[in-house]
Structure 1
Amino acid sequence: MRRLLCAFLFLATGTEAALCESLPSTVPLTLTQSDYDGGRIYVPVRFGNAMGTMRLDTGASTSRVGLAPWNKDLPKIGESRSTAASGEAAVCEDVEARNVQLRASQGPGVARNSYELTRCARNDGDDLLGLDFFRRARFSLDLDRREMELFDKVPPESRLAPFRLLGPDQRLIGLPLRLGNVTSVGLFDTGAELSAVDQSFVDAHKGLFTPVKNRLRASAADGGKISSRVYRVKQVALPDGHVVKNLYALAYDFGPLRQALGRQVAIILGYNFLRKFAWEIDLTTPASPRWSATPRK
């Protein structure tokens, strides 16, 4: 009875995602693999009566879907303009969806009674579930186990470090780190199939990188194309002392992304970096998000 009551309360609450006390929700992840240890992460999502999957994208502050029969009747509430890593800009509709639920294999589903997202008439990539869906939530992310767990509160014994808030509206999250001996910030981006580094940073610190491939045509999460090179980043060190060596990364001009990321971000930490750790992410206090990472063996 308690589980049924909790599932109802998820859908009956307001716009914030809610979690039921003492009943963590386990959400299964579907992973796809690609070259250079890259990959994509998908989660099961229900919009009203429509069930499907969306690509988990913490590098997007909001969710984005392509125009489709299941969402064509969602009411328009505004417009927004976005610029992708490829530099392509698009003006899309902001729409309101009702009863949006992240489907769990164990525990109650994690849902929003009302959720605003972006609907684009042209969308060559995946439907993206953005970071704002998890506002005021705490969750773990473990790609080896192919699951995400969401909890109602942070255990008092948890030792979490602060994220760096990024962008003019402070709605993206980054990790302070060192690339070799250079201090920088990396965007925490589950939607990046492969980690990426700003070409200008590579040019200024060539000793920190090993060239792998001179020319590669890559796809951004929205389907746009990026002309890039492939390098190995010799060393990425987190502030907790954990180090990743010889990380594959695309290199391209971050110029189109600067307005969203700010000047401090030199690297995007994508799938091939994130899979090396089990993560705990605490967004319960939006102004002070926190994290911890446990290396995978």
Structure 2
Amino acid sequence: MQDIPLIIAPDPDESEAAEVLIDATVDGRPRRFLLDTGAARSQLLTDPHTAGLATVRTEASYGAVAETSNELVCISELAVGPLHAQDLEVVRVAAAQPGARDLLGMDILASACCRFDLAHQQLRIEASPHPDAALPLVMDERKHCYVELDWTDAQAQACFDTGAGLTIVDQTFIDKHPRLFEPAGTSTGTDATGASFQTPIFLMTGPVIGGAQFTAHTVAAIDLSPVNATLDLPMDLILGYPTIRQANWLFDFPARRWSLSRIAPS
């Protein structure tokens, strides 16, 4: 078992939003990443080191509102705590692209049993199979992880995404279940492709997740139908920081099991 420190960077414009950052090394060079379970591949900004890497190939990438094409390059090693990957293909993006970040994705995390404890700013790597991971974990071919949200008369499938500063709800789900959502203004965001967009903000009634009752919190509404059209498992929500911070989440990725424990409100 090993704890890796996390850095929580609050959003200056959205009181409930924040980024979850983690330090790692690429080919022996230190870099700070956004911890992003919603990213199938890790991503690096172009800099003097990555600019010299040959493009291996390109592939399509999909954000919440736009599509783009990414260059893939091969790095010798990406290391974070006890996790190491060698000869890894990662996405390279221009540093000038709006919203572009170094991302630590599921190509690294999916090999481990991970406990996401944002309250104590830790990513804990534990042994697999883990006896506390009691629930079956649904993962798609891109290694996105899905959990179910329950209300009295509604259920939703959500992607667990530590890279999302806000939780995102499909506008269609809000239209079907308006009693769960109270309008709370608008916000401007940037998706994974760098596309900027304005979105309505709602206060969402707290759901039950993994048998635990969550409190009401802020969410953003987006039409997720374009990105859902690219997925084999469509999603109603993208669980971001305001939801994730309410619990201690255990994902045993190799064993395809998970569980959580609620954190008492401060």
Residue 291, structure 1, aligned to residue 262, structure 2 = no
User: How much does 1:170 deviate?
Assistant: 4.9
Counterpart residue number, 1:141: 116
Residue 143 of structure 2 aligns to which amino acid in structure 1? R
Counterpart residue number, 2:18: 39
**How do 1:148-163 and structure 2 match up within 5 A?**
148-155=123-130, 157-163=131-137
Counterpart residue number, 1:117: 90
TM-score by length of 2: 0.91
**Structure 1 residue runs without a partner (length 5+):** 1-23
Residue 182, structure 1, aligned to residue 161, structure 2 = no
Q: Which string of whole-angstrom CA distances, capped at 9 and with x for unpartnered residues, describes residues 148-206 of structure 1?
A: 11124334x3242112223xx35211102224421220110000001010112111211
The DSSP-based 3-state class of the residue aligned with 1:113 is strand
Task: Say which is worse superposed, 66-75 or 273-282, in terms of deviation.
Answer: 66-75
Contact 2:110 2:143 in 1 (8 A): no
**Matching residue within 222, 225, 244 for 2:196:** 225
| Alpha-carbon distance between aligned partners in 1 of 2:76 and 2:165, rounded to the nearest angstrom | 29
The DSSP-based 3-state class of the residue aligned with 1:235 is coil
The DSSP-based 3-state class of the residue aligned with 1:265 is coil
Residue 194, structure 1, aligned to residue 160, structure 2 = no
Residue 276 of structure 1 aligns to which amino acid in structure 2? Q
- Report the count of equivalent residues: 260
**How do 1:1-297 and structure 2 match up within 5 A?**
24-34=1-11, 35-87=14-66, 89-102=67-80, 104=81, 109-121=82-94, 123-124=97-98, 125-155=100-130, 157-166=131-140, 169-213=141-185, 215-238=186-209, 240-262=210-232, 264-285=234-255, 289-297=256-264
Contact 1:192 1:221 in 2 (8 A): no
Residue 296 of structure 1 aligns to which amino acid in structure 2? I
Q: Identity of aligned pairs, percent?
A: 23
Task: Say which is worse superposed, 190-199 or 60-69, in terms of deviation.
Answer: 60-69
| Alpha-carbon distance between aligned partners in 1 of 2:126 and 2:215, rounded to the nearest angstrom | 32
Residue 10 of structure 2 aligns to which amino acid in structure 1? Q
Q: Do the aligned partners of residues 262 and 199 (structure 1) sit closer, same or farther apart at CA in structure 2, a change above 3 Å counting?
A: farther
Q: Name the larger-Rg structure.
A: 1
Q: Do the aligned partners of residues 150 and 258 (structure 1) sit closer, same or farther apart at CA in structure 2, a change above 3 Å counting?
A: same
Contact 1:195 1:249 in 2 (8 A): yes
Contact 1:227 1:252 in 2 (8 A): no
Contact 1:236 1:244 in 2 (8 A): yes
**Structure 2 residue runs without a partner (length 5+):** none
| Alpha-carbon distance between aligned partners in 2 of 1:159 and 1:151, rounded to the nearest angstrom | 11
User: How much does 1:246 deviate?
Assistant: 1.5
Q: Do the aligned partners of residues 236 and 81 (structure 1) sit closer, same or farther apart at CA in structure 2, a change above 3 Å counting?
A: same
Q: Which string of whole-angstrom CA distances, capped at 9 and with x for unpartnered residues, describes residues 223-268 of structure 1?
A: 4312200101113111x32111312100011123113445641111
Contact 1:27 1:148 in 2 (8 A): yes
RMSD of aligned Cα (Å): 1.8
